[in-house]
Amino acid sequence: MNCIEICAGAGGQALGLEEAGFEHVALVEYESDYCKTLKQNRPNWNVVCADVKDFSGLEYAGSIDLLAGGVPCPPFSVAGKQLGKSDERDLFPEALRLINEIKPKAVMLENVKGFLDPKFNEYRTSILNAIEKLDYKVQIKLLNASDYGVPQLRPRIVIVGIRNDIKCDFHYPLPYKKKNITVGEALSDLIKKNGWKKADSWIKKANTIAPTIVGGSKKHGGPDLGPVRARRAWAALGVDGLGIANEAPAEDFEGMPRLTPRMIARIQGFPDQWTFGTKKTAACRMIGNAFPPPVAKAVGEEIKKVLENEVTTGEREKKVS
């Protein structure tokens, strides 16, 4: 199965889809820091560092299994002004253009929970109807990252479209039956890295999932864990959210520790091997704005089942005829 991804960011969705069995034909990303991260981690990926508005899908028409993307969320995020279609960063129209040009077998688009707000009912309906008119069966659902092994409260809406000539039905992945891993459990080895004496008691206190990790925009994203309300939630876990640390707590450290970018990345579901450069602010923004790889993998696996079943059904029908 192959895939084209737009608004690829730091690779969260792409990594998850790769793990689900999709090979990327192209990844389109506008920001140079993100492009460097993608190329650094996957030198074999075809990273197109360009504005998606300048990317044409015509040369890929009829040859792509999945078109995926996490179109920018600020137009719909409660952390922003929620301008929706009036926001110049709204790239849903570009996604629709590429669906029309490429005609992929399946479409997967993710965004923030705010996209479901009543104020966007008309616009949301128009987007879903537009995909349907392009010959797709469309579904939309709010998924919680914590249901798929991510130790974080991170609701995201995922739109999935299956081309009408694909007869098999798509179903969203069921929540995992395993108990949610806590922040303390997820970070136990990282928090102990420098021999912090109070690590075990901290791990016991950090006994639930994390609040939503915030990435921020280029103008407002800083190396911290979000606004005041988010910091209070982090403080309840024993984490100082006012800043980001370079290293794990030292042996005799006193107080609440700050998380390192590597710790934040793990809470977001990235593997430890995935790098984000050396600049903390840029790294935190990339990590915080990413779609958790485990969630992308779970959805991708269900899409792959539909497409594989279609292939199997087609081969069976050929043999019968």
Residues forming the active site? 73
Q: Pick the closest to residue 66 from 316, 305, 280, 320 (CA basis).
A: 305
Amino acid occupying residue 90: D
In terms of Cα–Cα distance, which of 142, 162, 207 is closest to 181?
207
Kindly give the interhelix angle for 121-133 and 92-102, rounded to the nearest 10 degrees. 10
Give first-to-last CA distance, the chain, whole Å.
Answer: 26
> E strands along the chain, which residues?
2-6, 23-29, 47-49, 66-69, 106-112, 136-144, 155-163
How far apart, in whole angstroms, are the C-alpha atoms of residue 173 and residue 228? 34
How many other CB atoms sit within 10 Å of the CB of residue 41?
18
Which residues on neighbouring strands pair with residue 6, listed in sequence order? 28, 69
User: Can you tell me the distance from the alpha carbon of 114 to that of 119, in angstroms, rounded to the nearest whole number?
Assistant: 9
Residue listed under structure tokens 């129209």: 93
Other CB atoms within 10 Å distance of the CB of residue 133: 11
